[in-house]
């Protein structure tokens, strides 16, 4: 058995390789990650407040909802700020795509959201 330490994309792996002599088939390599740092994102599931509307406001990128600026039932105009989404250390305003009434808020403050997730809906 030979032991090797391999670094791939900043992750360090300790690997054991067994020599089989003149065998043609390669031996399976067992790779166990060495002490690596892992960050765990807290995913917060939001309860939709109110019935779903016909116009969906989606997250343009993954991030964290810093604040929700509207409430269900509130009238909004095109360009009004609905939420503030933090992505890559920047605060991004999520705005209403058209005039309407907020039908539901689908993400709570502090929630981590993926790109394309429905943040709110309008009627």
* Domain count of the fold of the chain: 2
Domain-embedded: residue 87: yes
Map residue 122 onto helix, strand or coil.
strand
- Give the residue from 117, 121, 116, 118 showing the smallest Cα distance to 104: 121
Domain-embedded: residue 101: yes
Mean pLDDT, residues 26-45 taken together: 50
Are 62 and 117 contained in the same domain? Answer: yes
Tens-place pLDDT, residues 85-103: 999 999 999 999 999 999 9
**How many other C-beta atoms can be found within 10 angstroms of the C-beta atom of residue 51?**
10
Are 66 and 116 contained in the same domain? Answer: yes
Are 102 and 70 contained in the same domain? Answer: yes
Model pTM? 0.58
Mean pLDDT, residues 102-117 taken together: 93
Are 17 and 60 contained in the same domain? Answer: no
Token digits of residue 42: 């807290």
**Structural domain boundaries enclosing 14:** 2-33
Domain-embedded: residue 39: no
Are 62 and 20 contained in the same domain? Answer: no
Are 75 and 29 contained in the same domain? Answer: no
Are 115 and 67 contained in the same domain? Answer: yes
Query: Bigger pLDDT: 26 or 14?
Result: 14
**CATH code of the domain in which 87 resides:** 2.40.50.100
Predicted local distance difference test score (pLDDT) of residue 35:
52
Domain-embedded: residue 48: no
């Amino acid at each position: 058995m030979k032991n090797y330490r391999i670094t791939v994309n900043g992750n360090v792996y300790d690997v054991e390789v067994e020599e089989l002599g003149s065998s043609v088939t390669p031996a399976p390599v067992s790779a166990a990650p060495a002490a690596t740092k892992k960050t765990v994102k807290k995913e917060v599931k939001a309860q939709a407040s109110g019935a779903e509307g016909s116009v969906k406001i989606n997250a343009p990128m993954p991030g964290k909802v810093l604040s929700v600026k509207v409430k269900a039932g509130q009238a909004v105009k095109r360009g009004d700020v609905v939420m503030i989404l933090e992505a890559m250390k920047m605060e991004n305003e999520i705005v209403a795509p058209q005039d309407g009434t907020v039908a539901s808020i689908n993400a709570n403050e502090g929630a981590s959201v993926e790109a394309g997730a429905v943040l709110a809906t309008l009627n």
